[in-house]
Structure 1
Amino acid sequence: MKEFFRSLFATLVGLVVFCGGCLVLLVLLLASMGPSKPTVPARAVLILDLNTNFTDAYRETSPAEVVQRMAGQGPAEGLPLHQVIQALDRATHDGSVSALFITGNLRPEGVGSGPAALKELREAIQRFKKDSGKPVLAYNQYWTKRELYLCAGAGKVMANPMGLVDATGFASEITFFGKAFKKYGIDVQVTRAGKYKSAVEPFVLDRMSDANREEVQSLLDDLWADWKRTVAADRKLSPEAVQAIADTQGTLTSPEALKAGLVDKLAAYDEVLDELKALAGKKASDRDYPQIDLATYVKAGPDAETGRNRIALVFAEGTIVDGSGTDGAVGGDALSREIRRLRLDKGVKAIVLRVNSPGGSVTASELIQRELVLARKEKPVVVSMGHLAASGGYWISCQADRIFAEPTTITGSIGVFGMLPNIKALANEHGITWDGVQTSRLASAATLSRPKTPEELARAQGSVDWIYEVFLGKVAEGRKMSRDAVHEIAQGRVWSGAAAQRLGLVDELGGLQEAVRHAAKLAKVEKDYTLAGPAEPKSPIEKLMEALGGGKHPYTQARAGVLQQQVQRLFGQLETLNDPNGLYARMPYDLDLR
């Protein structure tokens, strides 16, 4: 028995030592992935791999995702759009970069890689092509509308001989739960201000209302017109010809796309590699050629400058929620605290708020907007709208000194809604009932056990109407319009950036660079300023050490299947509905363009 315990103890000690050694090796491996600055080889081809998600803010990476990526799995690692654009502009004048090669298919998640973001990236690619005179090659096996929009103006657009090109146009579908809720005994009473505030419709109807159909069709028409006009100009076609392709062919085979003029050449990947080798000064027989991917090239750039005249760049990306927020959401407390810090910093001469949000909590939106109003009293505040700046996203934007948006930005949605569900029928069917006492008629108004009384419903509608009037007043003050003029174009309706500019909801059409330059001009430091963005997220080794310390992260499971992702997305949206009063200034739907 003594020998048994001695052997058991030795085995346990050996196991602990082995695990400890593995842990040390893993930490050393992650440390080797640390922040050492890479170098750019001579005559390198800069590779823009589109298998990513272009975001505005830095995306926090969980420890599990770090390990998954080491194994070639996990979600796409997002690239901040402003860093990508800065890198492309730097590569224009970098003698070490000989050409730009674009390939891959985008992996949009959340509010990333939207039409407005792609427009800014496309313009950066075109600047590189025009100002540098260097070759720009683009290649894919399957061209979706997103990649074709980005790359149609490249010097040479190539497709695999057995590939496909998607030019089908845009479509949007909304899932309706009204009949299902009735079937299973779930009742939803709604309050809203604005006939276009259709966020509640999926829970009470079985199809689009006329108002909802009108606004979605109008928005898609604007986005499609921009796509069609851009691709037609880049491919030297007429918009009518592109429309005819969408109507009669939709998804084209590579030979059909070549004949239609959507691509320049059909080539297998090895033939593309031979072209890249030639651009880098290598022979086709050489095994490799000098190259650097854009994510690495970003890290190879100069360190951020520091100076007295700083233009602060702040991001509001994701659904606006109460509290500190999480990855993919804008915490009202956290963002308002950051704006307050920048307001009190004398070295910050202006603030540029980049908004990419469908809105969310009214309470959190007001916290953020209040701090922006206070900041504006001391220094210029300029808003740059990305893919989305709708509802609560417009609430926090409307009183800036200047608002910039892309023509394809989705904005407006000036309205408010509330949802009051109850599960009385569902519970009763399964033998569940409630009973209780109260001290006043409205004491149990928040219960899920019964429908709201007419009095309770009237009080809830009164709150929604009051917030809507406050919203109208803020927009009227910020945009120098009358209340009635704002109401005429509000009512929860979503507009494209181009339409919003015509209506006076946006000042200028342009991207983040234009917004930064204008902020510097307002601050009178346009000839001497530095752009100061938020701090980068923690390194992989820091993430791992946090995980080893017992921290948990919501994304610890493997990447879900398509159906599971949709369900997770729905529950993720429900988690962001955390306004203490149950009132929301949020875009009425998540527009998924296909």
Structure 2
Amino acid sequence: MWQFVKNTLSNILGLFLFSLLSILIIAGIGTVMSESDAKVEIKENSILRLDLSHPIVENANSEENPFADLLGPFVENAEKIGLIQLLDAIERAKIDTKIKGIYLESTMPMASYAQISEIRDAIEDFKKSGKFVISFADSYSQKGYYLASVSDKVYLNPNGLVEFSGISSNPIFFKKAFDKLGVEPLVFKVGKYKSAVEPFIREDMSPENKEQTLSYLNSINSFVFDKIARSRNLSVPTLNTIADSLWSFRPKLAEQKGLLNLAYEDQVTDELMKLVKVKEKEDLEFIGLNSILKADSPIKEVESSDKIAVLVAEGEIVGTKADDDAIGSENFNKELRKLRDNKSVKAIVLRINSPGGSALASDNMWREIQLAKKVKPVIASMSTYAASGGYYMAMGTDAIVAHPATITGSIGIFGQWFNLDNLMKEKLGITKDQVKTNAHSSFMQTTGALSDFEKNVIQQIVNEGYESFTSKAAQGRKMPVEKLKSIAEGRVWTGAQAKQIGLVDELGGLKTAIQLAADKVKLKKGAYKVSIYPKKKMFLEKLLESSISESKITERLIQKNIPWADAMLEINRIKNREGLQALMPYLIELK
């Protein structure tokens, strides 16, 4: 009896404490959210502080998250910077008379060369206002230094280093691991450069893959080195010598060669005090990215209801609804139809940052783009990637704008299959049997071997998919099919190379694409608004609708804490892919 009473009282107490804690959490979130909604007042002689230590995505779909450290594994974009929001902040700082300069912290920006270049261009434009830009870091990655080099002064801790040694790509191959496990990868592709399948069937890069990789690496490296040379008043040959000699890893040599100046953080603080004419460190007024976006914008509000819509499509392409890490054709098509039917939207800019994905989903989105451009102009703006399925989307638009450092092309399709019979039987001791009504009733329904006939069927499907892809690409680019095929073959190009061979129309960033869209509908600057889609959601709304699945939590915790996490997660993504893939050669990460 006494045990029953104890258990009952314990349950009541536990329920009471849980309810009390829930009320306190909700009240706390409400308080924080009301504070985050409050307008920020920019003080005189302020400095815009740009801390680029978090991953940069195209559009941050949540408000500033005060619980980012706690909820990061569960909520999309909890710790991410939106490129669109960042460019907006720099533009505001340029115009706002209360802001005197930018203090740039770009130790190791988690962004691509294309994204960093757009930020760099915005800062160059900011400098035209006569305001200062100062950069400081204890150390710089090559991307960090590339961005910092646009500053009036680049400062490095006297005991720091700069990772300035050129650009490399370092793919991982799984063939030996599959051999040991008893897994037989079967691949079906068209195009000698379509190397997305190489990590499964080779131990190294094919000659064709090395050829294309070196080509696009040299293209991006030349672009980056030229930009740095102009900013630092150095020659490109000098920069190549510095890179080959690894002089930047020795701070005094880096200073002697003209890359930067050495100073401790307190010395940089003293310089900032002089620039804004204050005598005490406490009088320095810094304003961050989120705060400046909450302040009243100095940009004159457009009275017209006319809009240029920017529809952001970022991530791998999948054939369903998707979260912020992928492009779901269902979500995308729904948004595009809304913009097509919206009378106030005069033109649409598709901001694409995708390595590709499902061929079927890519084709479904291509079709929706065809329908939209019958109603109003549709312009593609390429970011880091717009390759394979990403290019499939872009080729259906009225015009394509790419950044010189964009990775694009990869026009090709592949299929993959994994025979797990040996793994199951020899390694795990698992056997199987089957009963079927027709010769191929189990075709693509098991993880076993395929007959020669079945392999031939899959290859024919891939061939037909490639013919469809290339014919539509030729139609979109107004190019003979044979000429298009000569630059297809799954080959990857940079934006600069793609412009030369006719795969894109103009070089530039999002700003260029928006201007091109406005020109198409004869809208003058100041006569239209720019609206970003999908619409941003409040943090609490995002939290409530987040799918806090076990797999989502596990993936994010693995990425944070386990070496080789990306390779492990890539294998998992491979396993989950269905149907034919219009995907670039693995996920290219340039360092």
Change (3 A) 1:351 1:28: closer
Choose from 328, 353, 356 the match for 1:356.
353
CA shift for structure 1 position 434: 2.1
Alpha-carbon distance between aligned partners in 2 of 1:70 and 1:440, rounded to the nearest angstrom? 50
1:232 counterpart residue number: 229
Per-residue CA deviation, residues 327-379 of structure 1 (Å, 9 max, x unaligned), is 21000111011111111111111110011100000111111111111111111
Secondary structure at 1:162's aligned position in 2?
Answer: coil
Cα 1:55/1:67, change in 2 over 3 Å:
closer
Q: Secondary structure at the match of 2:160?
A: strand
Q: CA deviation at 1:76?
A: 7.0
Deviations 1:552-586 (A, max 9, x none): 782376562251532454256336623xxx20000
Task: Trace 1:173-212 onto structure 2 (pairs within 5 A).
Answer: 173-212=170-209
- The aligned counterpart of 2:529 is 530
- 1:165 aligned partner: 162
Q: Distance in 2 between matches of 1:28 and 1:422?
A: 53
AA in 1 matched with 2:270: D
Residue 290 of structure 1, aligned match among 285, 293, 296: 285
Structure 2 equivalent of residue 583 of structure 1: 580
SS in 2 for 1:287: helix
For 1:301 and 1:282, the matched residues in 2 are separated by 25
Q: CA 1:412–1:272 in 2, change beyond 3 Å: closer, same or farther?
A: same
Aligned AA (2:288): D
Which letter maps to 1:516?
I
Distance 1:260 1:93 in 2: 35
* Structure 1 unaligned residues grouped into runs of 5+: none
After superposition, the Cα gap between the structure-2 partners of 1:75 and 1:564, relative to the gap in structure 1 and judged at 3 Å, is farther
Looking at structure 1, the residues matched to 346 and 12 of structure 2 have their Cα atoms a distance apart, in angstroms, of: 65
Measure how far apart 1:530 and its partner are.
1.0
Q: Counterpart of 2:409?
A: 412
Equivalent position to 1:88, from 87, 90, 105: 90
Task: State the partner residue of 2:130.
Answer: 133
- Residue 44 of structure 1 is aligned with which of 27, 43, 46? 46
2:109 and 2:584 mapped to 1: Cα distance?
A: 22
SS of corresponding position for 1:433: coil
Q: In the TM superposition, what whole-angstrom CA distance separates every residue of 1:237-282 from its partner, at most 9, and x where no partner exists?
A: 111111111111254222111011100x211111111222222331
Aligned in 2, Cα 1:543/1:564: closer, same or farther, shift over 3 Å? farther
Read off the aligned partner of 1:287 and give its amino acid letter: E
Q: AA paired with 2:477?
A: R
Match of 1:483 among 478, 481, 484: 481
Mapped to 1, the partners of 2:72 and 2:420 lie a distance apart of: 46
CA distance in 2, matches of 1:368, 1:253: 50
Structure 1, residues 94-152: CA drift from partner, whole Å, max 9, x if none? 111011110143452xxxx21111111101001111x2101110111101111111121
Indicate if the aligned counterparts of 1:169 and 1:250 stay in contact, CA closer than 8 A: no
The match for 1:462 is 460
How many residue pairs end up in the alignment?
582
Between the aligned partners of 1:471 and 1:187, the Cα distance in structure 2 is 28
Structure 2 length-normalised TM: 0.92
Post-superposition CA distance 1:509-556 (Å, at most 9, x none): 111111101101101223421111125443333345557x98878237
Map Cα deviations across residues 204-234 of structure 1 (whole Å, 9 max, x no partner): 1111111111111111111111111111121
Q: TM-score, normalised by structure 1?
A: 0.92
Q: Which residue of the partner structure matches residue 381 of structure 1?
A: 378
Amino acid at match of 2:476: G
Q: Does residue 452 in structure 1 map to residue 453 in structure 2?
A: no
Equivalent positions of 1:9-20 (< 5 A) are 11-12=13-14, 15-16=17-18, 18-20=20-22
The whole-number CA distance in structure 1 between the counterparts of 2:443 and 2:66 is 42
Q: Judging changes above 3 Å, is the alpha-carbon distance between structure 1 residues 241 and 576 closer, same or farther for their aligned structure 2 residues? A: farther
Letter in 1 for 2:189: R
Structure 1 range deviating more: 427-436 or 117-126: 427-436
Distance 1:459 1:56, change over 3 A: same
The alpha carbon displacement at 1:172 in A equals 1.2
SS in 1 for 2:243: helix
SS in 1 for 2:496: helix
Q: Does 1:276 align with 2:272?
A: yes
Q: What's 1:573 paired with?
A: 573
Distance in 2 of aligned mates of 1:566 and 1:388: 18
**383, 389, 394: which is aligned to 1:392?**
389
**Are 1:45 and 1:290, in contact at CA under 8 Å, matched by a contact in 2?**
yes
Aligned in 2, Cα 1:60/1:329: closer, same or farther, shift over 3 Å?
farther
- Counterpart in 2 of 1:514? 512
Aligned to 2:100: 98
When residues 28 and 67 of structure 1 are mapped into structure 2, their CA distance, relative to the original with a 3 A threshold, is: farther
Change (3 A) 1:194 1:338: same
1:19 and 1:40 map into 2 onto residues whose CA distance is 36
Query: Could you say if the C-alpha distance between residues 67 and 153 of structure 1 is closer, same or farther in structure 2, counting changes exceeding 3 Å?
Result: closer
2:72/2:78 contact within 8 Å kept: no
Cα distance in 2 for partners of 1:431, 1:333 equals 41
Change (3 A) 1:59 1:27: closer
* Paired amino acid for 1:270: D
* Equivalent pair of 2:314/2:324 in contact (CA under 8 Å): no
Q: CA-atom RMSD, angstroms? A: 2.7
Aligned position for 2:262: 266
Name the residue aligned to 2:335: 338
Query: What is the rounded CA distance, in whole Å, between the counterparts of 2:12 and 2:472 in structure 1?
Result: 72
Change (3 A) 1:177 1:474: same
Equivalent pair of 2:321/2:330 in contact (CA under 8 Å): yes
Distance 1:402 1:8 in 2: 67
For residues 415 and 65 of structure 1, do their structure 2 counterparts lie closer, same or farther at Cα, with a shift above 3 Å needed? farther
CA contact (8 A) 1:321 1:330 kept: yes
Answer whether contact 1:397 1:403 (CA < 8 A) is retained: yes
